[in-house]
Amino acid sequence: LHYKHTYSFIDKIYNEIIKQIPNESNDKKGDYFEALWFLNRLRDDKTAFRFLISGMVVVDPTKPKFKIDENEFDVIDLFINRSGKAECWIYACSIAGNYRDNNEEKLKKLAKTIHDRYPDLIIRARYVIPKDKARNNWSPEVKETGVGTWN
């Protein structure tokens, strides 16, 4: 994906999505917003290897059926950094005003569970929100979560 024509293609898709977002329903806006962020990650060349998982759901089989998959994470980004170390970044994308309330506890739980299982893995958790949704600036902005960072 790191070819000069690929970047111009990704830019075209990104710009088309930016134009469409204001005209869509809230559900579609959320999906399109996640796509914008995902495209931004594809343009990032700071890694030696990257594996993106979109729409990650952590299932808890001990819960009743209607709550079994309530721990949804928008993107899990696994990569080898330029120093050769493995990193796992967990992203919660949200166009809602109360993005912290909806995501903080589940981000903490997943990050801690991953850390307990893989203590040498560098783990980060972030929110991705629109820069200024009120002014139709849907460009993704990454915010700190306050969730623990390991390694």
What is the DSSP code (8-state) at residue 4?
A: H
Of residues 57 and 122, more confidently modeled:
122
- What's the pLDDT at 42? 79
Side by side, which strands form the sheet with 47-58?
Answer: 47-58, 71-81, 86-93, 122-132, 137-144
CA 34 to chain centre: 7
The pLDDT of residue 19: 92
Which pLDDT score, from 0 to 100, does residue 137 have? 92
Give the model confidence (pLDDT) of 20-47 as tens digits.
Answer: 998 988 888 988 998 898 888 877 766 6
Model's pTM, two decimal places? 0.78
Q: What is the pLDDT of residue 148?
A: 64
Q: What are the C-alpha distances in Å from 7 to residues 16, 45, 109, 130?
A: 14, 11, 35, 22
- What's the pLDDT score for residue 64? 72
Amino acid at 33: F
Distance of CA 87 to the CA centre of its chain: 14
How large is the average pLDDT for residues 75-87? Answer: 87
